[in-house]
Amino acid sequence: MFHMKPPGEFVTVHGLRTHVLVTGGGPTVVLCGGLGGNWFDWDDCVDILSPFHTVVVFDRPGFGLSEPLPRGTTPTAAGEADRILAVLDAVGLTEQTYVVGHSIAGFYAEAFARLHPSRTAGILLLDSSAERDPWALIPKPIRISAAYGLATASSASGVQYVLGPTVRRILNHSIPPDGIPIETYDWIRQIYRTPSYLEAAMIENFVYPDMASELNAIRRRTLIPDVPVTVAAAHTGRPTPWGRAWIRKQRRLAQYLNAEFAVVDDAHHHAMIDQPEVVSGLIARLVSHHEGVDT
C-alpha cells in the first residue's frame, strides 16, 4: 500500500491503470526506462528538459505505480511501441514525438519509430539492448513458468521484502549528481517490495530473446523513418574487455541505423542518473536538429 502522494496522474492505457507524468512545454519528448525502470530514474533529466520541452515519463505495467499485465500476458516489442503511442494519446499529445529508449526500451523506441513513423520526430537509444542473432535454449513457456515461480517464491518467503531495495543498489550503481532524494528512497522501499513489480521484471527479462527476435522481424518488413537517430553508449572510463566490446556493439547499432553515435563518459548503465546533463544535452540536440531541419 502506498502512503505517499504519487506525482503525476493515472490514465487508462490498454485497459490498465497507468502512471504518467507530463511536465513543461514545447516539443514532446517521451522517456522510456529500461528493465524494471521507474519514473524517478529520469527526475534530473525531466528537470533539465522541461523548461523547453514537453516531457512525458510513464511506468510500464507492473513497474513504478502502474497496474501489472494480466497473469499469463507477456510484453512484446510491438505491444510496448503501441503502449507508448496510447500513453501519448491518453494525455492529449498527438503530434510527432521524440522517443528516448533506455536499455531494453531501446527495442520499444525503435519499434515505435518503425511502426508509427508518422508520429515519430526522432529517437535516442541510450545504452540500448542490441542483438543481431538472438536465440534461447529454453522454450518460452518454460521460461515464463519459471519466472512466475521464482517471483512467487521470492515474495512468499519474504526474500523480496528483505532484499528488494538491496537488489536495486546492486543492479543500479548510478547515483544522481546531487545524491538520491529521501523521497526516492521511500519509493524504492515500497516499489521494490511489491510482488507485482518483481514478477513484471522477471517476465520482461525472461522474454528478452523473444522481443529481440521480434524486433529483427519488424526490421525486415519496415524502414526506419527519415528522422534524426542517436545511439548513446554509457562508459565508466575503466578500460575493461567487456566495456570495449559493449562500445563496439553500440557503434554497430549506430551504423546499422545510420545514426549519430555518442559516448556518455563516467556513467554506468543508467546514464540518465549518473550524467543527466549530458544525456539531456543529447536529447536537446536531437530535438534542435530536427526542428532546424523543419524550419
The predicted pLDDT at position 294 comes to: 43
C-alpha–C-alpha distance, residues 65 and 114, integer Å: 28
Mean of pLDDT values over 173-187: 85
Q: Which range in 89-93, 166-170, 191-195 is most confidently predicted, on average pLDDT?
A: 89-93
pLDDT digits (tens, 9 = 90+) for 219-257: 999 999 999 999 999 998 887 888 899 999 999 999 999
Sign of the C-alpha dihedral, residues 39, 30, 284, 129? positive
The sign one gets for the Cα dihedral 108, 280, 191, 169 is positive
pTM for the model stands at 0.94
Mean pLDDT of 83-101: 98
**Identity of the residue numbered 4:** M
Q: Are 61 and 200 in contact (CB under 8 A)?
A: yes
Distance CA 105, CA 31 (A): 9
* pLDDT for 295 beyond 50: no
> From CA 34, how far away is CA 126, in angstroms rounded?
9
pLDDT, residue 4, reads 73
Q: Give me the pLDDT at residue 187, please.
A: 92
* Residue 172 in this model has a pLDDT that exceeds 80: no
Among 115-119, 129-133, 203-207, name the one with the lowest average pLDDT: 129-133
C-alpha cell at 220: 525486415
Q: What is the pLDDT of residue 179?
A: 84
Cβ neighbors of 269 (< 8 A, separation 6 or more) are 34, 103, 127, 172, 173, 174, 234
Q: Is pLDDT of 85 > 80? A: yes
Report pLDDT for 1: 43
Residue 2 has pLDDT above 70, yes or no: no
